[in-house]
């Protein structure tokens, strides 16, 4: 896949386990976010570009994003994407999917702060609270797979723990494809890992087999096993 003339992804191929968390890792700029957006149909697909995306047993390569969402593909973007001028309650209400019963009880059980701040404008929330709102919006609806991009980026350690605990609870019932720089969070959550390097898949396998070996972690991610990627 080319963006602005640059070849970002080149033959990236991997699967996501039907249970638990699969971590999508790599150094900055290798194409992790681009991969998520390509799966979701958020990037233009020229006719000459090959590639195939399969979801729930079917080929969805050319399906529009709204249809993928209706079929149960949830997405939490890196920039959170909350509507700053709307309240927490309004942000959640906008995320309700037609034909589905929104699960507010689940969202408020995972993030009680969202109930307390229902009337507060999202733009006045802390970064951690905005991240909770971004995750809460997608959890309102039933999902078959969640794509979550950098959920702990820029958060205080205490909030990182809260977000990780929520994702751990979610992953008990819905598979996650997780882009994450914090390797401590990856170690806590992920069973499997995929590493992208120079636009290609450089590793697929158990997350522990990658993170338990400092040399392999440094070679693929440029950090030690306890650091941020």
In a domain, 226, yes or no: no
In a domain, 227, yes or no: no
Query: Which token pair is 222?
Result: 């440029």
pLDDT values of the chain reduced to their tens digit, one per residue, 229 residues:
444 444 456 667 888 999 999 999 998 888 899 889 988 888 765 443 456 777 777 777 778 889 888 888 999 999 899 999 999 999 999 999 888 899 999 999 999 999 999 999 999 999 999 999 999 999 999 999 999 999 999 999 999 999 999 999 999 999 999 999 999 999 999 999 999 987 789 999 999 999 987 787 888 887 655 556 5
In a domain, 30, yes or no: yes
In a domain, 195, yes or no: yes
In a domain, 228, yes or no: no
Per-residue pLDDT of 125-175, as tens digits, reads 999 999 999 999 999 999 999 999 999 999 999 999 999 999 999 999 999
Looking at residue 171, its pLDDT comes to 96
Looking at residue 49, its pLDDT comes to 47
DSSP state letters, the chain: -EETTEE--SS------SSSEEEEE-STTSSHHHHHHHHHT-S---TT-----EETTEE-TT--HHHHHHTTEEEE-TT----TTSBHHHHHHHTPPTTS---HHHHHHH-HHHHHTTTSBGGGS-HHHHHHHHHHHHHTS--SEEEEE-TTTT--HHHHHHHHHHHHHHTTTS-EEEE-SBHHHHHHHEEEEEEEETTEEEEEEEHHHHHT-HHHHHHHHSS-TTSB-
| CATH assignment at residue 172 | 3.40.50.300
In a domain, 106, yes or no: yes
In a domain, 18, yes or no: yes
Its domain, for residue 139, covers 2-221
Looking at residue 225, its pLDDT comes to 52
In a domain, 27, yes or no: yes
Distances (CA, A) of 71 to 36, 66, 119, 183, 215: 16, 9, 31, 31, 41
Q: Specify the number of domains making up the chain.
A: 1
């Amino acid at each position: 896949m080319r963006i602005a003339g640059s070849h970002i992804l080149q033959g990236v191929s991997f699967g996501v386990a039907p249970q638990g968390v699969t971590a999508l890792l790599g150094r900055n700029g290798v194409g992790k976010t681009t991969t998520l957006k390509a799966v979701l149909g958020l990037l233009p697909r020229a006719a000459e570009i090959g590639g195939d995306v399969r979801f729930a047993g079917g080929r969805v390569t050319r399906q529009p994003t709204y249809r993928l969402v209706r079929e149960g593909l949830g997405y939490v973007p890196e920039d959170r994407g909350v509507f700053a001028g709307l309240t927490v309650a309004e942000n959640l209400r906008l995320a309700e999917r037609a034909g589905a019963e929104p699960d507010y009880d689940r969202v408020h059980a995972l993030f009680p702060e969202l109930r307390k701040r229902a009337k507060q404008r999202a733009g006045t929330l802390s970064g951690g609270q905005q991240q909770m709102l971004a995750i809460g919006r997608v959890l309102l609806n039933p999902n078959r797979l969640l794509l979550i991009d950098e959920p702990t980026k820029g958060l205080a350690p205490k909030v990182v723990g809260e977000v990780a605990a929520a994702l751990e609870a979610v992953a008990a019932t819905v598979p996650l494809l997780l882009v994450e720089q914090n390797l401590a969070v990856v170690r806590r959550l992920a069973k499997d890992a995929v590493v992208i390097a120079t636009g290609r898949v450089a590793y697929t396998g158990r997350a522990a087999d990658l993170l338990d070996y400092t040399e392999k972690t440094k070679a693929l991610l440029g950090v030690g096993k306890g650091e941020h990627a």
